[in-house]
Structure 1
Amino acid sequence: MLRLISRILNLSGKYKNRIKSAFIFAFIESVLSKMTIFIAFTVLIGFYEKRNTSKTFLYVGIGLVLVVLLQAVVHFLSDKLQSAAGFMIFADKRMELGNHLRKLPMGYFTAGNLGKINSVLSSDMAFIEEVSMSTIANMMSYLLSTLVLTIFMFVLDYRIGLIAVCVILVATLLANSMNKMSLSEAVIRQEQSEKLTDAVLSFAEGIGVIKSYNLLGENSKSLTDNFVSSKDTSIKFENKITPWTTGLNIIYGLSITFILAVAIYLNYQGALGLPYMLGLILFVFDLFSPLKTLYGEATRLTVMNAALDRIEEVLNETELQDAGKKHISKSDSVEPEICFNHVKFSYGEKEVLHDMSFKMNKNTMTALVGESGGGKSTVANLLARFWDVDSGEILIKGVNIKDVSLSELMSEISMVFQRVYLFQDTIFNNIAMGKENVTKEEVIEAAKKARCYDFIMAFPDGFDTIIGEGGATLSGGEKQRISIARCILKDAPIVILDEATASVDVDNESYIQGAISELVKNKTLLVIAHRLNTIRDADNIIVIKEGNIAEQGTHNELIALNGIYKNMVELQNKNNGVKIL
């Protein structure tokens, strides 16, 4: 218990003093809540000794009012400190997690961890800040209250105090065993929460396929099974906890009965005066209440402990090193602009790029072609440092990209993918994220260059139109043009283009081609090519096969080789009826 409280304090960072202050106020509140019984005890002694007067009851009344008012104030301060601290702590933690995720290699996100990230953000952090942080100060208060009440038992009679200590020790041993079991079950419960989140995300993302194959409702087996598993896991958790809490309640009840019996016996023997026995009767039913409440909250704390483990697991994932101190030259005289030197890269144990070397000069176009899975996208992702190379180096203007900060590197690169993701926000903000401190005029100009101004203004709210999550309310071509407007606004010197027209309709293709033409003016362009007719004029075409550079050169040079590239061109000519040669 104390270890978990200590863990929360370490998590609190700069808010630690707020939590500690909340502990103090919670303890004061706990003491004040017992003051009414202390006052009743003094009144009983006054009756027994026949020294109560009208002034006594006046003072008692004033004292009770002051105690109640002071308790209300202290309760307010305690709640304000601990509850507000929980939200502030996890506001910072979410920012820390976001910054951490930004620095993780892309492999982490493609390894099935999206459900874990979503669960940590929406379940684990929310549980701690909303449920556990509002009671953590009370946990310490219950411990201290138990100590105070036990000391008072010793004041009444040392034998009763010893009985109380023995009961507390037995309850603590039993509760520790309960917490160990609860902790292991809490881990299972939170892991199932992650699986359910993952299943819901998969269901939502694949809803089109699911509907087309009539897999809705009970037929969506994975989602249905996860709902059932989550229910079963929660019920199992409660079923395992209930016998322990019932056992603790029985111990508390029997102990109170035993203490009362001992008190009556001591009074009968003349070892315990009547006022003290009456005082004990006032206190004994409240003696184990703090301990009972403390261990009643134990299940929350074990779930919180499991949640903290999962949060720390994500935060402890190894980041891409971002300690680079070098800067990319702004001079136009440095050549080549991009250089791959003997680059090797593996996904896990499988090497997918083998000793790859090539150069790209400033304001030239380099196209990557080849069969699917050959490594084209990997080359682009390594240039953007979504992953780090296993060996070799990638240079921009002679500087290893590992020696440059990630923020500076990304300021040099714009990326346009086939699969565009837009955020649930206004069109204006989706474009404006390409540049800090952007003006409205700059956004409008970028939209015009990207050929999306007209369809934006056709919406009733224009640039203030809210886009659905992922850009769901726009067509594929519209999303693509907005993403290109974002890149035009960013105006980075290097553009990575996963050919944007590969999966759009003919009507949109001409608009997108025009937008791309605006984007790539005076830029160094790396294109992952799908339609070979779009790269005929590339300065260098690299044919990648099984992670190696099989051929490279201009279109005419590669045709003259009569090799892989020429076969690809002839195959597309045959399938599409488009003459590229």
Structure 2
Amino acid sequence: MTALMKRIFIASGKYKGRIAVAFVFSFLKGILKNAPIGLAFFVLSAFYHGTETPEMSLRIGITLVVILLIQMLFHNISDRLQSAAGFLLFADKRMELGAHLRKMPMGYFTEGNIGKISSVLSTDMVFIEENGMSVLADMMSYIFSQGILLAFVFYFDIWLGLAGLAVLFLILLVARGLKKEALEDSVIRQEQLENLTEAVLDFTEGIGIIKTYNLLGEKSQALADSFRETCRTSLEFEENHTPWQRGLNLVYGFGVVVVTALSVFLYFQGKLDVPYLVGIMLFVFDLFGPLKALYGQSARLTVMDSCMDRIEAVFAEQELLDIGREDIPEHSDAPEVQFEHVSFAYGEKDVLRDITFDLEKNRMLALVGPSGGGKSTIASLLARFWDVKSGRILVRGKDVRNVPLSQLMDHISMVFQRVYLFQDTIYNNISMGRPGASREEVMEAARKARCYDFIMALPEGFDTVVGEGGASLSGGEQQRISIARCILKDAPIVILDEATASVDADNESYIQQAISELCKGKTLLVIAHRLNTIRHADKILVIAGGEIEEEGTHEDLMEKGGIYRKFVTARENSRGWSRVTDRPFIPLL
């Protein structure tokens, strides 16, 4: 338990001072809590020896009232200091976690860790925040009180003190087994809560697909099974904990019997006076009370220990290093983007092998090929969502690993098919592209993105709050707002995963116009899905199996008659790459 206190104290950072002061007041509260026992012994001794007086009784009564009031004051101060520190500490911890997650490679979020992050935020941190500091205050009070009571017993008689100390060690021995059992079960309990969180997220995020394919019963059953497993795990935690707690209660009772019997024996042996015997009888049933109360908190303490393990594990995850100090030059003779013998792997699985290409300024490079070939990975590596396994990626001649991440992202805008809008006003969703932009600049970006008119038709215009993820808007409207965000950002490099691939025909024309505005005077890296996009690229890379199979212009590749031509022919026949049109998708410069 002291180890847990030390962990929380170390984690408390700048709030250590508050907690240390709170410990002092807990210590003083522990002394005052046991002061009435000393006063009672003093009164009994006075009665026994016939030295009591009305004045003495009045003074003792006043002293008891003062002690009670001071004890209440110290309790209030201790709770205020520690409880406030707990909420302040974990407010800071959440911000630290947000900053930590911001620096994590994207692979961390795609490896099943969303449930873990949600569980740490909504379960582990909340549990310690609400229980941790109050439990710490109680622990300190119990430990101090137990020490004071044991000192009283030694004052009465050394043999009684030694007997109390022996019982204390027996309690600690049983409590050690309780702690080990409870800690193992608390790990299982918290992991199951994480599984439940993940199951709930999976169900709610996939509810549309679940209903579409009539899987409601099956998926609901899976969620219900997760709830039942959580219930079973929690009950098992309590069932495994109960025998140890029962054993501790028996040891407490045994300790009381031993001290009482020894006191009576010492009295008949003439080694203990009546006032001392009565004094012991006054508090013998409370002698091990603080320790009993302390280990009554063992379930919460072990869960807190497990929560601390899980929180620390997330913070221990390796961040993407951001130690670059080189600046991307405003002008450079080097290509805008260069991949030099780039290889990359997700864990042990190779995804890209020896990728090399140049992309000149104000030119367009299209990536085509089968799903899973590595196209999106190339785009993600350029944005440094991950670091390469080997090779280099350069922007204007600078290795992206040697450039501050914030500066790199200032040079890149990204538009993907799947759009995410925050639960905030439309204005704020657009302005995050460039937070310092004026309101007129935000509105101009909306006009260029062809979303100004439908925004102004909303009840609150630009101050309309959209649902989380943009749920209150259509897919095409969400897409145009995300493009407005990129237009406002005005980054020189645009990564484009064709935004019209999954929108209706009415929105497609508007989105094409919006993207045309976005791409004017920009360097484009396009993950291409449609033939009319590919035809106008300056260079096309055919990515398959993590390698560049072919490269060249549309005409060059069609003449070669290789994989690209077969791919295009198959797509044209199935009308999968394009609702074939002669209208250019992106007008170039």
Q: TM-score range by the shorter chain?
A: over 0.9
Q: Distance in 2 between matches of 1:52 and 1:35?
A: 19
**CA displacement, residues 349-400 of structure 1 (integer Å, 9 cap, x when unaligned):** 2222121111111111111111111111010000001111111100001000
Could you tell me the TM-score, scaled by structure 1's length?
A: 0.97
Q: Tell me the residue number matched to 2:48.
A: 48
Give the letter aligned to residue 498 of structure 2.
Answer: E
Between 408-417 and 458-467, the greater mean CA deviation after superposition? 458-467
Give the letter aligned to residue 512 of structure 2.
Answer: Q
Q: Is the 8 A contact 1:115 1:194 kept in 2?
A: yes
Q: Distance in 1 between matches of 2:189 and 2:5?
A: 21
Q: Tell me the residue number matched to 2:221.
A: 221
Give the letter aligned to residue 62 of structure 1.
Answer: I
Q: Is the 8 A contact 2:105 2:385 kept in 1?
A: yes
Q: Is the 8 A contact 1:193 1:230 kept in 2?
A: yes
Give the letter aligned to residue 148 of structure 2.
Answer: V
Q: Distance in 2 between matches of 1:307 and 1:207?
A: 30
Q: Tell me the residue number matched to 1:497.
A: 496
Q: Tell me the residue number matched to 2:18.
A: 18
1:416 aligns with 2:415: yes
Task: Give, in angstroms, the shift of residue 218 of structure 1.
Answer: 6.9
Q: Is the 8 A contact 2:127 2:304 kept in 1?
A: yes
Q: Tell me the residue number matched to 1:389.
A: 388
1:254 aligns with 2:254: yes
1:510 aligns with 2:501: no
Residues 219 and 8 of structure 1: is their aligned pair in 2 closer, same or farther, counting only changes over 3 Å? Answer: closer
Q: Tell me the residue number matched to 2:172.
A: 172
Q: Is the 8 A contact 1:382 1:388 kept in 2?
A: yes
Q: Distance in 1 between matches of 2:214 and 2:38?
A: 70
Structural mapping, 1:373-452, within 5 Å: 373-452=372-451
Q: Distance in 2 between matches of 1:468 and 1:348?
A: 36
Structural mapping, 1:266-305, within 5 Å: 266-305=266-305
Task: Give, in angstroms, the shift of residue 144 of structure 1.
Answer: 1.9
Q: Is the 8 A contact 2:34 2:149 kept in 1?
A: no
Residues 459 and 559 of structure 1: is their aligned pair in 2 closer, same or farther, counting only changes over 3 Å? Answer: same
Task: Give, in angstroms, the shift of residue 219 of structure 1.
Answer: 5.6
Task: Give, in angstroms, the shift of residue 482 of structure 1.
Answer: 1.1
1:578 aligns with 2:580: yes
Q: Distance in 2 between matches of 1:99 and 1:226?
A: 31
Give the letter aligned to residue 308 of structure 2.
Answer: L
Q: Is the 8 A contact 2:34 2:145 kept in 1?
A: no
Q: Distance in 2 between matches of 1:393 and 1:434?
A: 28
Q: Distance in 1 between matches of 2:516 and 2:43?
A: 92
**CA displacement, residues 494-544 of structure 1 (integer Å, 9 cap, x when unaligned):** 111111011111000111111111111211111101012123222212121
Q: Is the 8 A contact 2:426 2:466 kept in 1?
A: yes
Structural mapping, 1:325-344, within 5 Å: 325-331=325-331, 333-344=332-343
Q: Distance in 1 between matches of 2:462 and 2:256?
A: 71
SS at match of 1:373: coil
Q: Is the 8 A contact 1:499 1:529 kept in 2?
A: yes
Q: Distance in 1 between matches of 2:40 and 2:441?
A: 75
SS at match of 1:497: strand
SS at match of 2:312: helix
Task: Give, in angstroms, the shift of residue 249 of structure 1.
Answer: 0.9
Could you tell me the TM-score, scaled by structure 2's length?
A: 0.95
Q: Tell me the residue number matched to 2:474.
A: 475
User: Percent identity, aligned pairs only?
Assistant: 59
SS at match of 2:459: coil
Q: Tell me the residue number matched to 2:37.
A: 37
Q: Tell me the residue number matched to 1:156.
A: 156
Task: Give, in angstroms, the shift of residue 157 of structure 1.
Answer: 1.0
Q: Tell me the residue number matched to 2:79.
A: 79
Q: Distance in 2 between matches of 1:246 and 1:327?
A: 66
SS at match of 1:318: coil
Give the letter aligned to residue 177 of structure 2.
Answer: S
1:114 aligns with 2:114: yes
1:131 aligns with 2:131: yes
SS at match of 1:134: helix
Task: Give, in angstroms, the shift of residue 121 of structure 1.
Answer: 0.9
Q: Is the 8 A contact 2:531 2:580 kept in 1?
A: no
Q: Distance in 2 between matches of 1:227 and 1:342?
A: 49
**CA displacement, residues 29-81 of structure 1 (integer Å, 9 cap, x when unaligned):** 12212222222222222222222222212212221221111111111111111
Give the letter aligned to residue 533 of structure 2.
Answer: T
Q: Tell me the residue number matched to 1:313.
A: 313
Task: Give, in angstroms, the shift of residue 421 of structure 1.
Answer: 1.1
Task: Give, in angstroms, the shift of residue 436 of structure 1.
Answer: 2.6
- Structure 2 alignment gaps of length 5 or more: 584-589
SS at match of 1:354: strand
SS at match of 2:393: strand
Q: Tell me the residue number matched to 1:192.
A: 192
Q: Distance in 2 between matches of 1:134 and 1:427?
A: 42
SS at match of 1:339: strand
Q: Tell me the residue number matched to 1:94.
A: 94
Between 288-297 and 457-466, the greater mean CA deviation after superposition? 457-466
Q: Distance in 1 between matches of 2:226 and 2:109?
A: 22
Q: Distance in 1 between matches of 2:266 and 2:350?
A: 82
**CA displacement, residues 424-483 of structure 1 (integer Å, 9 cap, x when unaligned):** 222122112112333322222221211111112222122222221211111111111111
Residues 551 and 219 of structure 1: is their aligned pair in 2 closer, same or farther, counting only changes over 3 Å? Answer: closer
Between 342-351 and 155-164, the greater mean CA deviation after superposition? 342-351
Q: Distance in 1 between matches of 2:218 and 2:174?
A: 43
SS at match of 1:344: strand
SS at match of 2:52: coil
Give the letter aligned to residue 66 of structure 1.
Answer: V
Structural mapping, 1:345-384, within 5 Å: 345-384=344-383
Q: Distance in 2 between matches of 1:106 and 1:73?
A: 51
Q: Tell me the residue number matched to 1:65.
A: 65
Residues 379 and 218 of structure 1: is their aligned pair in 2 closer, same or farther, counting only changes over 3 Å? Answer: closer
Q: Distance in 1 between matches of 2:73 and 2:491?
A: 57
SS at match of 1:328: coil
Give the letter aligned to residue 424 of structure 1.
Answer: Q
Task: Give, in angstroms, the shift of residue 579 of structure 1.
Answer: 5.8
Task: Give, in angstroms, the shift of residue 580 of structure 1.
Answer: 6.2
Q: Is the 8 A contact 1:374 1:545 kept in 2?
A: yes
Q: Is the 8 A contact 2:33 2:145 kept in 1?
A: no
Q: Is the 8 A contact 2:203 2:219 kept in 1?
A: no
Q: Tell me the residue number matched to 2:586.
A: none
Q: Distance in 2 between matches of 1:356 and 1:97?
A: 34
Q: Tell me the residue number matched to 2:533.
A: 534
Q: Is the 8 A contact 1:428 1:463 kept in 2?
A: yes
Q: Distance in 1 between matches of 2:286 and 2:443?
A: 70
Give the letter aligned to residue 511 of structure 2.
Answer: I
How many positions carry a matched residue from both structures? 580
SS at match of 2:12: helix
Q: Tell me the residue number matched to 2:587.
A: none
SS at match of 1:155: helix
SS at match of 2:134: coil
Give the letter aligned to residue 30 of structure 1.
Answer: G
